[in-house]
Amino acid sequence: MDTPNRHLADTLRNLRRQRQWSLDAAAARTGVSKAMLGQIERGESSPTVATLWKIAGGFETSLSSLLVPTPPACSEPEVRRAADLRRSPAEGEMLVAPLFPFDERLGFEVFELTLPAGYVRRSAPHEPGVTEHVLVVAGCMAVCIGDRWHALAPSEAIRFAADQPHGYRNDGDSPAVFHNLIHYPRQWGRAD
């Protein structure tokens, strides 16, 4: 099992144990099948980003906590390079780089996301109180909030309540790269 899948498997298993949930209970809370959750815990499946969001929402934890270990608090400046962190959680998916994983003290996480040409992703609503901030770095893209698409060019940004249906689209011929700062309500905790 590679390191990211091992981290995901261990984190999911620990989340269930902390809450004393069976696979059936976790499936009911997340909307992800018991079979899929079992495969993830055994390292036999690389779930899509949509599945990871369902798991994070059901456990009321951040997406980044499922992807990478929570870094320790630091008193020194920390430089993180997207090129070193970038990966595809599932085949054919967008590239995800957790620039700053969820920090409980600050209540947010920051990702660099790369949408391949022609990519469209719809996202189910997150838990109440979750807010997303999308800042386009390269290429052009559109963000759907509710049922309306908002076109964004490089250096443009949008903020929205993510507790409603939303999505991301790249109609261009080249990748679109954006930063996504996701802020969580205070009651959300860490996965580990």
**Residue 115: pLDDT above 50?**
yes
CB 192 within 8 A of CB 11: yes
Residue-level pLDDT at 191 = 47
* Average pLDDT across the chain, whole number: 88
**Residue 164: pLDDT above 80?**
yes
Residue found under tokens 């997340």: 30
User: Is the pLDDT higher at 176 or at 54?
Assistant: 176
Domain 3-67 listed as CATH 3.10.20.740 = no
Alpha carbon distance 57, 128 (integer Å): 10
Percent pLDDT > 90 in the chain is: 57
Put simply, whether the predicted model's pTM sits higher than 0.85 gets the answer no
Domain definitions of the chain by residue range: 3-67, 82-183
Question: Which helix (H) or strand (E) covers residue 121, if one does?
Answer: strand 120-123
**Residue 3: pLDDT above 80?**
no
Alpha carbon distance 77, 112 (integer Å): 19
- The pLDDT of 138-153, averaged and rounded, is 96
Residue-level pLDDT at 190 = 45
Domain 82-183 listed as CATH 3.90.110.10 = no
Partners of 149 in beta bridges: 144
Cβ contacts of 88 within 8 Å, gap of 6 or more:
94, 95, 96
CB 179 within 8 A of CB 152: no
Alpha carbon distance 149, 66 (integer Å): 29
pLDDT category at 50 given cuts 50, 70, 90 is confident
Residue-level pLDDT at 90 = 65
Cβ contacts of 10 within 8 Å, gap of 6 or more:
none
- Residue range 74-102, pLDDT digits in tens: 777 888 889 888 888 765 678 999 999 98
